[in-house]
A and B are shown apart, each in its own frame.
Chain A
Amino acid sequence: MADPSDMDKDGISGEPSYGELPSFLNVLPNAIPKNGKYIHRFGKKAAAYNLLHQTVNAYSQDIGISSAFAPKDVYSGQEIDPEISNLTINNVVFYLQTLKAPIQRDQNDAQIQQGKQTFIDLGCQGCHRQTLKTGLSPIDALSNKTFHPYTDLLLHDMGSGLDDGYTEGSAKTSEWRTPPLWGLGLSPNSQGGQYFLMHDGRARSIEQAIDMHGGEAEGSKNRFKKLAQGEQADLIKFLKSL
């Protein structure tokens, strides 16, 4: 899926995020390093290698809970006693790994099927890839499974409008990992009935979010704008069914 130099000339040049591994992480089988770095896929800029990495960072950096994995206080740099056990962190990681993914609703609805076709025609699938397949996993139920996250898990340049001025891992300031779209239509249920889309929640509707796409997604956005109102409605209904 990666196409850093846009060999296929579709204007989309996704590339994996590479980063160094913290000492508490084990390299997955078949992982291929590049200059000592490994592909990271988790987080908005894909700065985490796996769910253990993501979870440890979330406890430590987001809420200030230290662990044996990350014993340093993020502000002072002082090493402190773990405030959460490794067992609890590993259980949370297992929970996140095995939590059921949202399933698309009303798949046979004609408007939704039309919207899906429009999604493909506009080129949205260039980044929001419908189907991926897992590799081997120590959890049997996760091995070699086909799933539908609507992401390629790659970094893409989203243009100056979404440039936050920060780099993270190998992601540049305007690069973001394609966010999965599964569960998109359900997200308002847990957000007081509102959408908060894009990396900082600035888009309050799916239409606004599409309008904020730039960079590699500029072409798809412009094609969306040229659609008839009914075609746009089909696409939005499809996205809300995810």
Chain B
Amino acid sequence: MNKWLLIFAIILEAILIVSCERITPKLPADDQILDGPIDGLSSAEKTRFLAGDVAFNDEIFTRETGLGSVSWPQVAEAAMPVMARGHCLRP
């Protein structure tokens, strides 16, 4: 009984090892990392890097949060004579 349990445990462990290798990707080589900070930053600097990373890559601006000109309709109207015809599409 113990022998079968041991064999089962070994097989299970082998399956887990293989699975982990498949699930966990290999660490990328140094020349493949493009979104990390330079070496040698202090921990405070790394925190600041992350804050900048989030602001640069994750912040999505909308018209309500400031995207575009605040006076877009006026700009469009000003452009109308130049366009000679057509209609200003108000937001």
Contact = CB atoms under 8 A, between A and B. Distances in A.
Contacts of B51: 91, 95
B41 to A, nearest CB: 5
Given A63-B68, A64-B68, A139 B45 contact: yes
* Chain A facing B: main interface SS: loop
Interface residues of A, number: 33
Nearest to B53: A95
A75 B71 contact: yes
A102 B45 contact: no
Given A98-B38, A104-B31, A141-B39, A76 B52 contact: no
Contacts of A99: 35-38, 49
Contacts, number: 91
Interface of A: 63-66, 73-76, 78, 80, 83-84, 88, 91-96, 98-105, 139-142, 183, 186
Contact-residue bracket for chain B: 20 to 34
B65 A105 contact: no
A100 B38 contact: yes
B40 A95 contact: no
B74 A76 contact: yes
Shortest 9 CB-CB contacts between residues of A and residues of B = A95-B52, A83-B66, A141-B40, A91-B52, A103-B31, A76-B71, A75-B69, A64-B68, A91-B51
